[in-house]
A and B are shown apart, each in its own frame.
Chain A
Amino acid sequence: MSTQIDVNATNKTTQDDEINLGILRELGSIGAGHAATSLSDILQQSITIDVPKIHNVKPYLIPQFYNLHDVPTTGILLQLNEKYGCDILLTFEYIEARKIAAMMNMVSSVDELDQTMETSALQELANILIGSFLTSISDFVGVGLMPTTPQMVTDTFDAIIDNFLVKQSMVSDNALIFETRFKRNGEDAKSILMIFPTQELKDLLVERSKSMMGV
């Protein structure tokens, strides 16, 4: 005998919401394209991106959606300055993170890496990748978006993302989460870039984008 809380839920969006989501998705595509080019330059490999997705969901449904509960994961967090308040989380499956760190250190095997080399390489990767992402968006909308110094942790996927989902839950029943995934040499790089924008930042980006496009 078992009881289960029903967590199924869907969100309704208006036509205006759809237009705004479309604008944000387009901004994300611009940013992710530049980020992929930067990553490709660093790794000297072909890096492509999937079409970015925007999830407008209840935050607590996200772990079920990804279904990566206990998968060892490296998460790198950057935050935008306080004015715009926004968390940016780049995750790699741990094994993939180590492969990338080995490439950046130009060593032939992950066994040649020590913790310092690994941390330094991945933080630098996040700086370049997310910096490139934000710069391209900043240039487009004419707003300076500066990230903080990256913080990195390795743990299970659910443990890493729950802090962000809790933060989202504190301000809204629904969360807008921007997601993009990279491919390395045509294969899934097992990496997710998640952005948790505040309402203020969403409004600002949409307003500036409309202004730029003359809408």
Chain B
Amino acid sequence: MLYLSVGSNLNGACKPMSKRGAYQQLEPQIVIDANTNTHPQLEEVRVDMAGMKVDSRPVELLTSVGSCIGICLYDPAHKCGGLAHIMLPHSSQGPLEPLPSKYADTAVPALAAGIRGMTGVEAKLSAKIAGGANMFANTTANGLDIGQKNIKAVRETLALHKINLAAEDVGGSHGRRINFNLVSGVITVRLHNGETKKL
């Protein structure tokens, strides 16, 4: 099966960080992959807060998180993956709502089921996660560091379902924009100041 070989679509998207240029709008970029030809950026599909998407097309799933976490599960054999934007650790806490992608403990099995439903096989999945920040340091004074609780719950749930956590970029006090490339399985995490990391 031939897929477009597209380098990380955010390569080069980070403009030089001048003293005053650190907060530029995030603009779509066209990327040239040095190994092959010129490709347009993959279509970006946004996943909203408490939402979830599973896809097998050559697209990038995108979400933006602070204390929430983006959970990305990937089936590399079938180039099929899913992203859930979870808000809370456990579905047993707080008001119950039939929205599995809102909670860490229900989003992971829902994503896995979605991928298996799409590929039709019980393939081995790998996970990458990003988020869990504490944006306002003093809010922990009320006993609420929901970012850390989310991180712990996601790790535990992945272990429970025997899904390998291949990479993570979590904690801190900054938001993250997550781009999940379903062709390569690579996740690009971008901070508001333009700094990027690849997972």
Contacts and interface: CB of A to CB of B under 8 A. Distances in A.
B57 A151 contact: no
Interface stretch (A3-11, A19-27, A28-36, A39-47): A3-11
B192 A154 contact: yes
Interface in B155-186: 173-177
B24 A69 contact: no
Interface in A120-158: 148, 151, 153-156, 158
Contact of A163 (B57, B99, B100, B139): B139
B37 interface: no
B163 to A, nearest CB: 19
Contacts of B99: 5, 7
A60 interface: yes
B56 A5 contact: no
A14 interface: no
A3 B176 CA distance: 23
Bin the interface of chain B by size: 35 or more
A170 B88 contact: yes
B136 A163 contact: yes
B67 interface: yes
Nearest to B118: A1
Interface in A41-79: 60-64, 69-72, 75, 77
A161 B133 CA distance: 12
B146 interface: yes
Given A151-B136, A155-B175, A171-B94, A162 B65 contact: yes
A153 B67 CA distance: 14
Contacts of A82: 142
A8 B88 CA distance: 19
Contacts of B88: 166, 169-170
B50 interface: yes
Contact of A160 (B49, B53, B66): B66
B52 interface: yes
Interface in B39-62: 45-46, 48-57
B17 interface: no
Contacts of B95: 169, 171-173
A60 B54 CA distance: 19
Contacts of B136: 77, 151, 153, 163
B135 A163 contact: yes
Contact of B54 (A3, A110, A170): A3
B192 A64 contact: no
Contacts of B133: 159
Contacts of B187: none
A159 B52 contact: no
A159 B49 contact: no
A156 B93 contact: no
Contacts of B102: 60, 169
Given A155-B66, A155-B192, A162-B66, A60 B48 contact: yes
Contacts of A166: 67-68, 87-88, 146
23 contacts: A1-B57, A2-B57, A5-B53, A7-B51, A60-B51, A63-B49, A63-B64, A64-B48, A154-B23, A155-B192, A156-B192, A158-B65, A159-B133, A159-B135, A162-B65, A162-B66, A163-B135, A163-B136, A163-B146, A165-B49, A166-B67, A170-B146, A171-B94
Interface of A: 1-5, 7, 60-64, 69-72, 75, 77, 82, 85, 94-95, 110-111, 148, 151, 153-156, 158-163, 165-167, 169-173
Q: Which 3 A-B pairs have the closest CB atoms?
A: A159-B175, A159-B66, A60-B50
Given A1-B57, A63-B64, 19 more contacts: A1-B118, A2-B57, A3-B114, A3-B118, A60-B49, A77-B136, A151-B138, A155-B192, A156-B175, A156-B177, A158-B66, A162-B49, A162-B66, A163-B136, A163-B139, A165-B87, A166-B67, A169-B87, A170-B94
